[in-house]
Structure 1
Amino acid sequence: MLRYGITIFLSAFLLFEVQLILAKRILPWFGGAPAVWTTCMLFFQLLLLAGYAYAHGLAAHLSATAQRRLHLALLSASLVLLAILWTAWGNPILPDADWKPADSAQPVWRILVLLGASIGLPFFILSATNPLLQAWFSRSHPDTPPWRLYALSNLGSLLGLLGYPFLIEWLLPLSAQAWTWVFGYALFAAGIVASSRAPAIAPAPAQTTAMAAAAVPARASYLLWFALAAMASVLLLATTNQMTQEIAVIPFLWVLPLSLYLLSFILCFESERWYRRGPYAVALLLALAGIGVVLHLGVDLPIYIQIGAYTALLFVACMTLHGELARLKPTANRLTAYYLTITAGGAAGGLFVALFAPLAFAGYWELHLGLWGSAALLLAVWWRDRNSFLHHGHVWPAVAVPLAVLALSVYLAHKSLLDAGSELLPTGGWLALAAAVAGSALVAGVRRRAPVPAWAHAVLFGLALTGYGVALAWLARAPLAESIAQTRNFYGVLHVKEDNPDNEEWHRYRLMHGRITHGHQYRRWDLRTEPTSYYAQDSGIGLALLRHPRRPLPLHVGVIGLGAGSLAVYGNSGDVFRFYEINPDVVHLAAGDRALFSYLRDSEAATDVVLGDARLQLERERARDDTLRFDVLVVDAFSSDAIPVHLLTAEAIEVYLARLRTPDGVLALHITNRYLDLEPVVAALAERHGLTLRIVESASGQYVFESTWVLLAHGDALERVAGLAEASRPAATASVAPWRDDYSNLFRIIKW
Structure 2
Amino acid sequence: MTEVTASEDVRPPIAGGGDRVVPGLFALAIFTSAALVFTVQPMATKLVLPLLGGSPSVWNTAMVFFQAALLVGYAYAHALQRLTSMKAQVAVHLALLLAAALFLPLRISGALGDPAPEAPIGWLLTTLTLSIGAPFAILSATAPLLQAWYARVRVGHVDGQNPYVLYAASNLGSFLALIAYPVLIEPLLTLSGQRAGWSGGYAVFVVMVVALAVVAWRRGGHWGGEQGAGEVAPLERSAPIAWREKIVWVLLAAAPASLMLGVTSHLSTDVASAPFLWVAPLALYLLTFVIAFQTRPLIPLPVTLALAAAMGLACIAFSAFRSGDWLFLFGLNLVTFFLLALMCHQRLAQRRPPPDRLTEFYLLMSLGGVVGGAFTALLAPILFNNVWEYPLVLVLVGLARPLDRSPIRNREVYLFVAAVIACAIPPILSAMFQVDWDFAWWFSNNVTGDMPRLTLMILIVAVVAGLLLRDRTPAYVAIAAMIALTTHYIGRGYEAKFTDRSFFGVMRIGTTQDPRLGGEVHVLMHGTTLHGAQPRNPAFACMPSLYYAPLTPIGQATQTIQLRRPAANIGVIGLGTGAMAGYKRAEDRMTFFEIDPLVDRLARDPEHFTFISDCAAGPVRTVLGDARLTLDREAPGSYDLLLIDAFSSDAVPTHLLTVEAIEGYLRLLKPDGVVVLHLSNRNLDITLPAAAAARRLGIPNLHQVYQESDASPEMAEASTEALILSPSEEGLAEFRRDPRWRTLADTEVRPWTDDYVNLVGSLWRHFRN
1:492, distance to aligned residue in structure 2 (A): 0.9
- Structure 1 residue 267: Cα displacement: 1.6
Range 683-692 or range 399-408, more displaced: 399-408
The separation in 1 between residues aligned to 2:68 and 2:389, in whole angstroms, is 19
- 2:677 is the counterpart of 1:669: yes
1:255 corresponds in structure 2 to 279
How many Å separate the matches in 2 of 1:676 and 1:11? 33
Q: In the comparison of the two structures, how many residue pairs are matched?
A: 709
SS at structure 2 position matched to 1:194: helix
**After superposition, what is the alpha-carbon deviation per residue over 1:373-403, rounded to whole angstroms, capped at 9, x for unaligned?**
22x223xx3225x7xxx9999x999989989
Corresponding residue to 2:96 among 74, 77, 83: 74
What fraction of aligned residue pairs are identical, expressed as a percent?
33
Instruction: Pick the aligned partner of 1:193 from 207, 210, 231.
Output: 210
Counterpart check, 1:149 vs 2:166: yes
Query: Residue 156 of structure 1 aligns to a residue in which SS?
Result: helix
* Whole-angstrom distance in 2 between the partners of 1:142 and 1:332: 10
Q: Is the 8 A contact 1:286 1:404 kept in 2?
A: no
Q: Is it true that 1:180 corresponds to 2:203 in the alignment? A: no
In the superposition, relative to structure 1, how do residues 58 and 711 fare at CA in structure 2: closer, same or farther (>3 Å)? closer
SS of 1:725 mapped into structure 2: coil
Counterpart CA distance in 2 for 1:426 and 1:645 is: 41
Which of the residues 523, 529, 537 maps onto 2:542?
529
- 8 Å CA contact 1:368, 1:476 repeated in 2: no
Deviation at 1:606? 4.6
C-alpha displacement of 1:678: 4.0
Structure 2 residue 532 is the aligned partner of structure 1 residue 519: yes
Distance 2:336 2:421 in 1: 16
Aligned to 2:561, the other structure's residue is in SS state: coil
- Counterpart in 2 of 1:470? 485
Q: Give, in whole Å, the separation in 2 of the partners of 1:518 and 1:178.
A: 36
Q: Structure 2 residue aligned with 1:586, among 599, 607, 615?
A: 599
Letter in 2 for 1:234: S
Report the equivalent of 1:692.
701
**What corresponds to 1:89 in structure 2?**
none
Find the counterpart in structure 2 of residue 19 from structure 1. 41
Give the equivalent residue in structure 2 for 1:599: 611
Q: 1:377 aligns with which of 399, 403, 407?
A: 399
Matched, 1:221 2:229: no
Residue in structure 1 matching 2:179, options 154, 162, 167: 162
Measured after TM superposition, the shift of residue 560 of structure 1 is 0.5
| Local SS of the residue matching 2:336 | helix
Deviations 1:144-164 (A, max 9, x none): 231222222112222222222
Q: CA deviation at 1:676?
A: 3.6
Partner of 1:442: none
Q: In structure 1, the residue corresponding to 2:564 is in which secondary structure?
A: coil
Counterparts of 1:434 and 1:243, CA distance in 2: 22
Matched, 1:114 2:127: yes
The residue that corresponds to 2:9 in the other structure is none
Specify the SS of the correspondent of 1:8.
helix
Q: 1:447 corresponds to which residue?
A: none
Structure 1 CA distance, aligned partners of 2:393 and 2:211?
43
Q: Which of 515, 535, 547 is residue 560 of structure 2 equivalent to?
A: 547
Counterpart in 2 of 1:642?
Answer: 651
Q: What secondary structure sits across from 1:564 in the alignment?
A: coil
Structure 1 residue 318 and structure 2 residue 341: aligned?
A: yes
* TM-superposed deviation, 1:345: 0.8
Farther off after superposition, 537-546 or 699-708: 699-708
Q: In the alignment, which residue of structure 2 is the partner of 1:743?
A: 757
Contact kept? 2:250, 2:367, Cα under 8 Å? yes
Q: Secondary structure at the match of 1:518?
A: strand
1:568–1:605 contact (8 Å) kept in structure 2: no
Match of 1:54 in 2: 76
Alignment of 1:294-693 (within 5 A): 295=319, 298=322, 301=325, 305=328, 307-374=330-397, 376-378=398-400, 381-383=401-403, 432=461, 457=472, 461=476, 464-471=479-486, 473-474=488-489, 477=492, 481-483=496-498, 486-497=499-510, 505-548=518-561, 550-551=563-564, 553-591=566-604, 596-602=608-614, 603-621=616-634, 626-627=635-636, 629-663=638-672, 665-689=673-697, 690-693=699-702
| Residue type at the aligned position of 2:383 | A
Moved more, 521-530 or 47-56: 521-530
TM-score, normalised by the number of residues in structure 2: 0.81
Q: How far apart are 1:116 and its partner, in Å?
A: 1.1
Equivalent position amino acid for 2:86 in 1 = A
Q: Is the 8 A contact 2:553 2:720 kept in 1?
A: yes
Structure 1 residue ranges without an equivalent (≥5): 87-91, 440-451
Deviations 1:41-98 (A, max 9, x none): 111101111111222222246543543443333233223x32xxx6xxxxx3112667
Which residue type is aligned with residue 255 of structure 2? M
Higher helix share: 1
SS in 2 for 1:383: coil
Quote the offset at 1:489 in angstroms: 1.5
Alignment check: 8 A CA contact 1:650 1:685 kept: yes
Distance 1:651 1:256 in 2: 31
What do the CA deviations read for 1:330-384 (whole angstroms, capped 9, x no partner)?
Answer: 222221221111111111111111110111111122222222222x223xx3225
Question: CA 1:722 to 1:134, structure 2 compared with 1: closer, same or farther past 3 Å?
Answer: closer
Tell me the amino acid that sits aligned with residue 757 of structure 2: Y
Q: Quick check: 677-686 or 314-323, which moved more?
A: 677-686
Q: Which of 704, 710, 718 is the aligned partner of 1:706?
A: 718
- C-alpha separation between the residues in 2 aligned to 1:456 and 1:136? 39
Distance 1:362 1:54 in 2: 37
Partner of 1:288: 312
1:673 maps to a residue whose letter is N
Distance in 2 (alpha carbons) for counterparts of 1:696 and 1:202: 71
**AA partner of residue 191 (structure 2):** L
Shift of 1:599: 1.9
Whether contact under 8 Å (2:470, 2:476) holds in the other structure is no
The answer to whether the 8 A contact 1:49-1:340 is kept is: yes
Q: List alignment gaps of at least 5 residues for structure 2.
A: 1-21, 227-231, 435-443
What secondary structure, in the 3-state scheme, does the structure 1 residue paired with 2:283 have? helix
Taking the aligned partners of 2:273 and 2:254, their CA distance within structure 1 comes to 26
CA distance in 2, matches of 1:748, 1:397: 54
| Cα deviation code 1:570-595 (max 9, x no counterpart) | 11121111110011111222238x77
Where 1:631 maps in the other structure, the secondary structure is strand
Q: Which moved more, 1:567-576 or 1:505-514?
A: 505-514
Which stretch of the first structure deviates more once superposed, 145-154 or 495-504? 495-504
Pick from 34, 43, 48: which aligns with 2:65?
43
Question: 1:474 Cα deviation (Å)?
Answer: 3.9
Distance 1:691 1:411, change over 3 A: farther
CA distance, structure 1, for counterparts of residue 333 and residue 466 of structure 2: 29
Matched AA of 1:632: L
2: CA distance between counterparts of 1:434 and 1:151? 34
237, 242, 245: which one pairs with 2:266? 242
| 2:260–2:282 contact (8 Å) kept in structure 1 | yes
2:252–2:345 Cα contact (<8 Å) kept: yes
* SS at structure 1 position matched to 2:639: coil
One-letter code aligned to 2:675: L
Letter in 2 for 1:150: Y
What CA distance in whole angstroms lies between the structure 1 residues aligned with 2:471 and 2:97?
Answer: 57
Give CA-to-partner distance per residue, 1:84-143, whole Å, 9 cap, x none: xx6xxxxx3112667662542421111111111111111121111221222222222222
Native 8 Å contact 2:683 2:766 kept in 1: yes
